[in-house]
């Protein structure tokens, strides 16, 4: 091998992927051998000054699979722009000139499967519409800086009939044309939690951090739901409602948001409560098998929930409880004795386990 030009394309592409894109593109001037190698780069990060022509430039990458825009403003998108091979797109702190600009950009990705949108602060977008028929995975983080008006700032409107995974941490969102079955990882600081849940009743897996109930309830049953994770700091009062409407639920996890390294703003200045249901939910009688409680504090309310599940969970096989650091050594000894006695009486097949952080 005489020089670097003798290397195969796959190695040259790896080398070009390590340098700034403008430098990589300039290698096309070296020789015919290098003419189109840079167009084979599969992943591209772009955080430079944006122009509409830049998108046209990115469209020249023949095998581009992943594209990430960071900290830039998109003013316009040419109608001829198209990313035919891109399946993964990340928009990190990207500002848009208008709602229409968002729609035009996303329409340039005909086979997009994964979309990550992280927004900080406000811009000229009132409704961030995500209409992508091929989209399978969506991750949204939206932190509003300064003032926003709920009457005019509509947040995200999602039209994704192929969506399989949905991770949402935002103030407000609307879902339309969702698939029949959806694995959703939902963390909400949401003005209208009830309305959003109505769009998620077909989900198989939900992880919820919701504002406490305000009196209205989502319509429909969660008749496909098999796995539920629920934040007990803010959403414990949702437990009865979801249990009653989830006849196939098999796995229940109760946690505090600190376990996920973020603070639960829903619980600020709010004390949620749990009340024993008037009738035993169907899932406790026929399907629920696994219960986990992370960062269990041992409050009377939490004890009541555990006792109720042990008493009425006919098919619960395992219940694991991880104590919070606020639980004293004496309580760590007493609580297992109390629950194990109930487990032997009411659910002989249930195996109880306890651990500390």
**240 Cβ contact list (under 8 Å, min separation 6):** 274, 275, 277, 281
Q: Which residues of 86-125 are buried (b: 16+ CB within 10 A; e: fewer)?
A: bbbbbbbebbbeebebbbbbbebbeebbbbbbbbeebbeb
Q: Where are the domains of the chain?
A: 1-41, 289-356
CA distance linking residue 77 with residue 17, whole number of Å:
25
CA distance linking residue 68 with residue 97, whole number of Å:
19
DSSP annotation of 152 reads: T
In this prediction, residue 70 carries a pLDDT of 86
- pLDDT truncated to tens, each residue of the chain (357 aa)? 467 766 777 777 777 666 666 677 666 656 666 766 666 676 777 765 555 556 666 666 667 888 888 888 888 888 788 888 899 999 998 889 899 999 999 999 999 999 999 987 767 888 899 999 999 999 988 876 544 455 555 578 888 888 888 888 765 667 777 776 677 666 554 445 666 777 778 888 888 877 666 655 666 788 889 999 988 877 677 888 889 999 999 999 998 865 555 555 555 544 556 788 889 999 999 999 999 999 999 988 899 999 999 989 999 999 999 999 899 999 998 888 888 766 555 545 788 899 986
CA distance linking residue 14 with residue 243, whole number of Å:
51
In this prediction, residue 323 carries a pLDDT of 93
> Could you tell me if residue 220 is left (phi over 0), alpha (psi between -120 and 50 degrees) or otherwise beta?
left
Give the CA angle between residues 346, 351, 356 to the nearest 5°: 120
In this prediction, residue 147 carries a pLDDT of 44
In this prediction, residue 286 carries a pLDDT of 94
Through-space distance between the first and last CA atoms of the chain, rounded to whole angstroms:
57
Q: Is 237 exposed, middle or buried (0-12, 13-18, 19+ CB in 10 A)?
A: middle
Kindly state the tokens that stand for 24: 């990589």
DSSP annotation of 304 reads: H
Give how far Cα 21 sits from Cα of 6, 46, 70, 87, Å.
22, 8, 14, 19
Give how far Cα 60 sits from Cα of 15, 70, 155, 218, 284, Å.
19, 20, 32, 47, 56
CA distance linking residue 323 with residue 325, whole number of Å:
6
């Amino acid at each position: 091998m005489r020089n670097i030009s003798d290397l195969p394309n796959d190695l040259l592409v790896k080398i070009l992927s390590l340098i700034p894109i403008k430098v990589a593109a300039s290698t096309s001037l070296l020789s015919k051998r290098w003419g189109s190698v840079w167009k084979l780069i599969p992943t591209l990060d772009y955080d430079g000054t944006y122009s509409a022509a830049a998108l046209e430039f990115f469209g020249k990458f023949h095998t581009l699979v992943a594209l990430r825009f960071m900290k830039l403003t998109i003013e316009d998108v040419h109608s001829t722009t198209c990313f035919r091979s891109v399946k993964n797109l990340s928009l990190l702190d990207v500002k848009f000139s208008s709602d229409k600009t968002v729609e035009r950009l996303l329409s340039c990705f005909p086979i997009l499967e994964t979309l990550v949108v992280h927004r900080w602060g406000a811009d000229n977008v009132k409704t961030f519409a995500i209409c992508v028929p091929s989209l399978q995975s969506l991750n949204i983080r939206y932190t509003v800086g300064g003032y926003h008006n709920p009457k005019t700032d509509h947040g995200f409107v999602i039209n994704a009939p192929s969506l399989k995974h949905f991770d949402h941490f935002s103030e407000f969102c609307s879902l339309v044309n969702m698939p029949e079955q959806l694995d959703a990882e939902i963390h909400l600081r949401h003005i209208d939690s009830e309305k959003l849940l109505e769009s998620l009743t077909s989900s198989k897996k939900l992880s919820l951090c919701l504002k406490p109930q305000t009196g209205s309830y989502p319509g429909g049953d969660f008749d496909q739901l098999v796995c539920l994770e629920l934040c007990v700091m803010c959403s414990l009062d949702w437990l009865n409602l979801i249990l009653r409407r989830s006849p196939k639920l098999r796995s229940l996890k109760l946690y505090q948001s600190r376990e996920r390294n973020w603070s639960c703003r829903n619980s600020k200045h709010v004390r949620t409560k749990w009340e024993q249901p008037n009738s035993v939910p169907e899932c406790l009688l026929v399907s629920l098998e696994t219960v986990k409680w992370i960062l269990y504090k041992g409050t009377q309310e939490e004890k009541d929930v555990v006792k109720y599940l042990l008493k009425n969970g006919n098919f619960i096989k395992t219940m694991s409880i991880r104590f919070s650091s606020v639980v004293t050594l004496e309580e760590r000894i007493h609580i297992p004795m109390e629950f194990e006695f109930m487990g032997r009486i009411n659910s002989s097949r249930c195996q109880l386990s306890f651990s500390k952080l």
